[in-house]
Amino acid sequence: QQQVKQSPQSLIVQKGGISIINCAYENTAFDYFPWYQQFPGKGPALLIAIRPDVSEKKEGRFTISFNKSAKQFSLHIMDSQPGDSATYFCAASSSGAGSYQLTFGKGTKLSVIP
């Protein structure tokens, strides 16, 4: 049973546009929601993360929106650039689990075209 559902699988955006990736979770014990960026041949790199006590977090061109009641969160990339072309993963973990293991979405391959 997939606990974190991510959409879309792939996304093509024009340079300067807004990229939006959505995730939904089922486990209400999740209390940490990071987004990772992965380039081909590299390991995932933490981009931005949010906890459920806030509804939005912004770092530069990247914003997480969080809706606790709907159990959904999303990543917005403003002014998308060709260098943002990568695969993005949402994830979730629970401090109550003890291990903070991450449950990942299936990933979104973003292509930003000039």
Partner 1 sequence: GAGVSQSPSNKVTEKGKDVELRCDPISGHTALYWYRQSLGQGLEFLIYFQGNSAPDKSGLPSDRFSAERTGGSVSTLTIQRTQQEDSAVYLCASSPINWGEQETQYFGPGTRLLVL
Q: Are strands 86-92 and 108-113 parallel, antiparallel or unpaired?
A: antiparallel
Q: Give residues 79-98 in contact with partner 1 (rule: CB under 8 A).
A: 89, 91, 93, 95, 98
- 21 vs 91 by CB, closer to partner 1: 91
DSSP 97: G
Q: Are strands 72-77 and 103-104 parallel, antiparallel or unpaired?
A: unpaired
Considering only residues 105, 108, 110, 112, which one is a binding residue for partner 1 as defined by CB under 8 A? 105
Considering only residues 107, 108, 110, 112, which one is a binding residue for partner 1 as defined by CB under 8 A? 107
**3-state DSSP assignment of residue 4:** strand
Amino acid at 107: G
Query: Per rule CB under 8 A, is residue 1 in the interface with partner 1?
Result: no
For residue 48, the minimal CB distance to partner 1 (Å) is 11
